[in-house]
Amino acid sequence: MKVALLRLGLLAALLAVWELAGRAANPLLAVPPSAVVPALRDLLLLRSYPRLPASLWLTVREIGVAYALAVAAGLGCGFALGMNRLLGRAWGPMIAALYAVPAVVWYPSLMLFFGLDAASKIAFGFLLGFFPITLAVLAGVRQVNPHLVLVARAYGAGVVVVFFRVMLPSMLFTLVGGLRTGLALSVIGVVVGEILGSKDGMGALINHAYGLLRTGDYVALVLVTLLLVVGSDVLASGLERRARRWSE
């Protein structure tokens, strides 16, 4: 209850500051919340951007494909490097180093390679999501207590049983955390990719409104995108909580 009040209070304060600042500024550069409301209404009624549903759907699909690829490749690479001591020692640090590079530097070449359509956005979302998932799997595999593996083997567990009954539960927490971070970064990758250069998708609409200085529409589009991001994170954190309860 107190937490909710404090959250609402902060939101109200931010809105008030925004309103005051927005009214004082040049309306081409900034808009107060009071001006966003009509823009948001026009947007949702498909007056300002009739292709909003198609664009939103495109962005969601790009995120879905990028994330699915990142999960598949991240789990694959993570387990391959985690289970094989030599490969893990050789390549693990390189992956961690690559993760530290600001990923946006790769984007121009991705665009040259994959073109302006969905492929380059998917590639970028994949690239961003891949690293945290891989690194989480690597860290998770290291968390597995070898003694528990030995105990399971003594009781007749083969490789598959050890994997599902010992390894997965041991690393579940770290793994789910990595999957959640990966999702957030895949979303960022796709949206940033669209903003940096695209013909369609939420990023393209944002870019369009921003380029034409339709600041109200721009803010309204950002809010819709924000909802998408927050929604995906709420979903992921729900799964994380469930995993935590299960692993304890």
Partner 1 sequence: MTAAGGALIAIESVAKRYVTSSGPVDALDNVSLSVAEGEFCTLIGPSGCGKSTLLGMLGGLVSPDRGRLLVAGGPVTGPDPRRVATVFQDAGLFPWRTALENVEFGLELQGVPAERRRRRAGELLGPLGLGGFAERYPRELSGGMKQRVAIGRALAIDAKILLMDEPFGALDEQTRVLMGEWLLDIWRRTRKTVIFVTHSLHEALFLSTRVAVMTARPGRIKSVLELTMEYPRSMESPEMVALRAKLWSEMREESLRAMQ
Minimum Å gap between C-beta 103 and partner 1 is 35
Residues of this chain that bind partner 1 (CB under 8 A): 147-148, 150-157, 161, 165-166, 169-170, 246-248
Minimum Å gap between C-beta 234 and partner 1 is 25
Minimum Å gap between C-beta 9 and partner 1 is 39
Q: Which is nearer to partner 1, 99 or 163 (CB)?
A: 163
Q: Which is nearer to partner 1, 170 or 207 (CB)?
A: 170
Q: Which residues contact 209 (CB under 8 A, 6 or more apart)?
A: 49, 215, 217, 218, 221
Taking CA atoms, 88 is separated from 77, 93, 106, 139, 233, in Å, by 10, 8, 24, 11, 30
Q: Which is nearer to partner 1, 174 or 215 (CB)?
A: 174
Minimum Å gap between C-beta 84 and partner 1 is 19
Minimum Å gap between C-beta 165 and partner 1 is 8
Minimum Å gap between C-beta 154 and partner 1 is 5
Q: Which is nearer to partner 1, 155 or 211 (CB)?
A: 155
Q: Are 83 and 142 in contact (CB under 8 A)?
A: no
Q: Which is nearer to partner 1, 57 or 246 (CB)?
A: 246
Q: Which is nearer to partner 1, 45 or 161 (CB)?
A: 161
